[in-house]
Amino acid sequence: MTGPDRPAEPVPPRSGPTSTGPAGTSPGEGGSAPSMRPRGLAAEVRVERDSFTLRAALTVPAGEIVCVLGPNGAGKTTLLRALAGLLPLTGGRLVLDGQVLDDPATGAFLPAHRRPVGVVFQDYLLFPHLSARDNIAFGLRARHRAGRRAARAAADGWLERLGLAAHGDLRPADLSGGQAQRVAIARALAPGPRLLLLDEPLAALDIATRSQVRAQLAATLGTLDASVLMVTHDPLDAMILADRLVILEAGRVVQSGPAAEVARRPRTPYVARLVGLNLYAGMASGDRVALAGGGELRVPADVGRVEGDRGDEAVLVAIRPTAVALHTEAPSCGSPRNVLAGPVEGLEPFGDRVRVTVASTPAIHADITAAALADLRLAPGRLVWATVKATDLDVYPAHGS
Amino acid sequence: MTSGTAAGPADATGPGAPGGPAGPVVAAARARRGGRRRAADGQVPWPLALPAAVALAFLLFPLVALLIRAPWRGLPDLLGQSSVRQALFLSVQTATVATGVCVLIGVPLAWVIARSRLPGRSVIQALITLPLVLPPVVDGVALLLAFGRNGVIGRRLDAWFGITLPFTTTGVVVAEAFVAMPFLVVSVAGALATADRRYEDAAATLGAGRWLAFRRVTLPMAGPAVAAGAVLCWARALGEFGATITFAGNFPGTTQTMPLAVYLALETDPDAAIALSLLLLAVCVVVLVALRRRWLPGARGVSAAL
């Protein structure tokens, strides 16, 4: 939910560039922060570029893993670049472990090479002219001015820890995808960042190595004391690796919360598609929800009272596709349920089931077994009736409480 | 389910240990063979083949003529002369020093052209190619006006430091560097402009400031382009004639480089001229072949890695 983490936000809202005060204001603010000195990232990011605006507020306490999920063009990479210091904010404020990284209002800006931030890039960007060992040693030498020998010794420690002891002399071109990914993570972690950013760390891997590398990544990240922010568009990666999800769409945070909660109660069609649910928006009144896209759903009669007795209320309705039954004849009335009639629009294998899309009002996805598919003799264009029990509908307020 | 079973074989082989090192070797071999294979199965259409053959013949015939007419019998005597050795040594020496100077100041210029946000960047870019397109004699005249004894800068160099450039070996280096530097700058600037700058971002996130990132990431990754530019630069400096004879004169031992010696010999002793040309040709071929073998695989490897 968007709501809960807002009050915890230690970032004071700013009133824009007009509040740029004399230099004296910044020590004053610095003085109030150290009393708490929250460990972790507190970010209020605002980046305006051409026609795109990213506005996102998020916190990542030390030791927590937050996954930012979003479709292409949502601003995920922009967010990451802003946090890394590769892109200055145009508004908002970045604070990491009490240290201000970027604050356009006071003009404070710590460039990328001075930030205690590590980045694992999407295609790793390992330096092709350096060995795996020297790639890992790079940050120790650059950031901590470590000598060549000390840095290489530390790099060897990382190689050993990640099971790459035999590959230290190899160039990145001679490493497999999974090995390159581990070297990239070691390179980012070696200088001891307090914030680790990962940009689609598993996207470059083939499916066979992916699950294995994902498990290793989870183990590596689990032991970290730093804040970890990972950007991905793969819901599976997010569900497995993240303590908390932040969903970014069109430059805005549309939903955030624990993975299980996001998966159960999606707030936007994008999230619903990610987690494989039918999602409808509408106005609840008694035991009926009038849908924004046309049509009506019958919901458990007491839902209005459970969620707050406020009469008409904007709600979201989530339906599991496995809770939808299909019939080739109009079903006779039984228990209170929803009946949606329409032609079959598409059939798609989905694990051990088949996902049937019915072009009713509203359209609905149903997951049925292959046997049921054969019994029903479904084909695109065939008229079917989809039924869902009212009690299988999850109804929740459209706006976070 | 599916991902679980798919992970099975990967687990069984361990963390890519046996497959890992073998794969890239095979891939590299395939890449090396790739160029030849592509040339072999590519059928060349005759509207391209015909002019290409003419162009190739046009480029090679004069060199063949040089070989045909070479006074092979008298060659050892002609090349044994100390004046020839002197000219050759001077040529290689000045061309190498000029190339060194070009790399030292040309690479930073290339970086500025490719990366900085200077307002007059595109104008600078156009201006530096001028020595490339101007007749070398004009380059020589321009050098005289700048660095000559009465030149704008040369006068002060002479008066304040007692340094004279024209008609000295240093003058040869100046003339060669002036004419050859654009080759290096254009080559390196092109490579820097098209290089993947995200590697510099990666260096920055690892704590490297811009200078360190340039030294340890940008420059090594542009290495093949710098080498290629330096080879071009060296070859151009070695063959430099017009600017050298105008600015540095033609004094045996101090400013008479191989091309100047060839030109002079052509008027008095054509056989000697042919012999000298042959020697120059041999030096160029040896250097180019040696550097190709040394640098081109590296260049290909880097571009493939990018």
Mean pLDDT of chain A: 85
Are B205 and A84 an interchain contact pair (Cβ–Cβ within 8 Å)?
Answer: yes
Confidence category of residue A390, pLDDT binned at 50, 70, 90: confident
Q: Count other Cβ atoms within 10 Å, centred on residue B93.
A: 14
pLDDT (average), residues B103-127: 89
Look up the pTM and report it.
0.76
pLDDT (average), residues A218-233: 90
C-alpha span between A344 and A321 (Å, rounded): 15
Nearest-Cα distance to chain B for A162, in Å, is 10
Nearest-Cα distance to chain A for B221, in Å, is 7
CATH classification code of A276-397: 2.40.50.100
C-alpha span between B304 and B285 (Å, rounded): 27
Most confident of A357-361, B79-83, B266-270: A357-361
A27-126+175-264: CATH, from 3.40.50.2000, 3.40.50.1820, 1.20.120.10, 3.40.50.300: 3.40.50.300
Amino acid found at A116: P
Write the DSSP string, A12-75.
PP---GGG---TTHHHHHHHHSTTT---EEEEEEEEEETTEEEEEEEEEETT-EEEEE--TTSS
Question: Which pLDDT does position B8 carry in this prediction?
Answer: 36
Residue whose entry in the numeric block shows the structure tokens 């339906």: A319
Question: Which pLDDT does position B242 carry in this prediction?
Answer: 93
Interface test with A, best of B11, B13, B205 (most A CBs within 10 A): B205
Question: Which pLDDT does position B244 carry in this prediction?
Answer: 93
Confidence category of residue A168, pLDDT binned at 50, 70, 90: very high
Nearest-Cα distance to chain B for A215, in Å, is 11
C-alpha span between A396 and A230 (Å, rounded): 28
pLDDT of B13 strictly over 60: no
The residue that leads in pLDDT, A257 or A16, is: A257
Amino acid found at B120: G
pLDDT (average), residues B218-222: 93
Are A127 and B1 an interchain contact pair (Cβ–Cβ within 8 Å)?
Answer: no
pLDDT (average), residues A318-329: 91
The residue extents of the domains of chain A are 27-126+175-264, 276-397
pLDDT of A179 strictly over 60: yes
Taking CB atoms and an 8 Å cutoff, what residues of chain A touch B10? 208-209, 212
C-alpha span between A134 and A142 (Å, rounded): 12
- pLDDT tens across B119-165, in order? 888 888 888 888 888 999 999 999 999 998 888 898 888 888 888 88
Residue B259 belongs to what H/E stretch?
A: helix B258-268
Question: Which pLDDT does position A173 carry in this prediction?
Answer: 93
User: Which residues between 170 and 229 in chain B have a beta carbon less than 8 angstroms from any beta carbon of chain A?
Assistant: 196, 198-199, 201-209, 212-213, 216-217, 220-221, 223
For residues A380 and A347, the answer to whether their CB atoms sit within 8 Å is: yes
pLDDT of B105 strictly over 50: yes
Are B21 and A351 an interchain contact pair (Cβ–Cβ within 8 Å)?
Answer: no
Question: Which pLDDT does position B149 carry in this prediction?
Answer: 85
* pLDDT-wise least confident of A45-49, A77-81, A371-375: A371-375
Confidence category of residue B291, pLDDT binned at 50, 70, 90: confident
Confidence category of residue A203, pLDDT binned at 50, 70, 90: confident
Question: Which pLDDT does position B294 carry in this prediction?
Answer: 62
Nearest by CB: A212 against B11, B209, B306: B11
Instruction: Assign B195 to helix, strand or coil.
Output: coil
C-alpha span between A175 and A183 (Å, rounded): 9
Confidence category of residue A14, pLDDT binned at 50, 70, 90: very low
Confidence category of residue A20, pLDDT binned at 50, 70, 90: very low
Confidence category of residue A302, pLDDT binned at 50, 70, 90: low
- pLDDT tens across A364-375, in order? 999 999 888 888
For residues B83 and B221, the answer to whether their CB atoms sit within 8 Å is: no
| Residue of chain B nearest A80, judged by CA positions | B205
| Residue of chain A nearest B22, judged by CA positions | A174
- pLDDT tens across B54-78, in order? 999 999 999 999 889 888 888 888 8
Confidence category of residue A29, pLDDT binned at 50, 70, 90: very low
Question: Which pLDDT does position A112 carry in this prediction?
Answer: 94
* pLDDT-wise least confident of A59-63, A162-166, B168-172: A162-166
Nearest by CB: A139 against B10, B196, B207: B207
Question: Which pLDDT does position A211 carry in this prediction?
Answer: 85
Give all domains of chain B, ordered by start, each with its CATH number. Answer: 81-305 (1.10.3720.10)
pLDDT (average), residues B92-116: 94
Nearest by CB: B204 against A112, A172, A191: A112
Are A173 and B23 an interchain contact pair (Cβ–Cβ within 8 Å)?
Answer: no
pLDDT of B85 strictly over 90: no
Question: Which pLDDT does position B162 carry in this prediction?
Answer: 84
| Residue of chain A nearest B5, judged by CA positions | A208
pLDDT (average), residues B243-272: 90
Confidence category of residue A46, pLDDT binned at 50, 70, 90: very high
Confidence category of residue B41, pLDDT binned at 50, 70, 90: low
* pLDDT-wise least confident of A35-39, A225-229, B56-60: A35-39
